[in-house]
Amino acid sequence: MISVIILGSGNVAHYLFKALNKSVDISVIQWYSRNLKQIQEFKSVVSITDDISKLDKADIYILAISDDAISSLSEQLPFENRLVVHTSGSVGIHDLDKKLRRGVFYPLQTFSKDVDMDFKHVPFCLEALEKVDLELLKTLANAMDSPYYKINTEQRQTLHLAAVFVNNFTNQMYRIGHEISDIKNINFDILKPLILETAKKVQNISPYMAQTGPAMRNDKKTIKRHLKALDNSMHKDIYELLTKSIKQTHGKKL
């Protein structure tokens, strides 16, 4: 049985509490938050505290807090030589105080407060300074039925950047689709199956192989008509740049 203490009260902390608490191989023995109110509802199932000096002894401490707070909270921890991990995509492992055994337990996923996530769909990026700690993190991911990958800090920061493209920028493509169709009184629902299928397709084939459309075919007539139809200059700029990018990827003349 691995004992865990969670620190933080955001979406990741909430997700981890749920996922870890469900596992028979893990005991979440305490939950710390600066702001006790945000975890108050869990006080009947786990010991909660807002006092850093009252942290119990555990096998793993998980700092699921904002990037900026990681370094200073790790300094404040009133113990040494215990395994402390953060859950950030961009903070280095050495940003944790060196009095600790240090590691990273980064879930590469987008969490919403009220959306339940299948644990199998939350891959963890693991990093630790000691081999024995890495093994402990693997056991932790296994206990949640989550896939995991050994990833160093540079790779993790790259993944965080790649995630901006496949998540934030993709979502902005959806937003623009929404804006464009709203203007013509078109129900955005019509586009939803296409959005889902586009994401499903690259689960099995590469994005390179999955590409279709006017830019990929270098269909100048359609591209010209689309640019003419766009009257928002930002939409036009994005259409032009991404058309150019697709052509470049697929070896068409720019």
Q: How far is the CB of 31 from a copy of itself (least distance, A)?
A: 23
Residue 142 makes contact with a copy of itself by CB under 8 A: no
d(CA 134, CA 110): 24
d(CA 60, CA 137): 9
d(CA 112, CA 125): 20
Q: How far is the CB of 38 from a copy of itself (least distance, A)?
A: 19
**Region from 30-38, 51-59, 69-77, 167-175 binding a copy of itself, contact rule CB under 8 A:** 167-175
Nearest to 6 by CA among 56, 64, 88, 55: 64
Q: How far is the CB of 169 from a copy of itself (least distance, A)?
A: 5
Given the complex with a copy of itself, which of 52 and 186 has the nearer CB atom? 186
Residue 122 makes contact with a copy of itself by CB under 8 A: yes
Using CB under 8 A, pick the residue from 81, 115, 220, 253 that binds a copy of itself: 115
Assess contact for 115 and 87: CB atoms under 8 A: no
Q: How far is the CB of 71 from a copy of itself (least distance, A)?
A: 14
Using CB under 8 A, pick the residue from 45, 54, 94, 171 that binds a copy of itself: 171
Give the CB-side neighbour count of residue 28, counting CA atoms within 13 A.
Answer: 25
Using CB under 8 A, pick the residue from 3, 38, 109, 218 that binds a copy of itself: 109
Residue 192 makes contact with a copy of itself by CB under 8 A: yes
Assess contact for 29 and 4: CB atoms under 8 A: yes
Q: Residues in contact with a copy of itself, total (CB under 8 A)? A: 87
Residue 134 makes contact with a copy of itself by CB under 8 A: no
Using CB under 8 A, pick the residue from 7, 125, 136, 137 that binds a copy of itself: 125
- The token pair at 92 is 């280095």
Given the complex with a copy of itself, which of 82 and 214 has the nearer CB atom? 214
Binding to a copy of itself in span 32-71, by CB under 8 A: 67
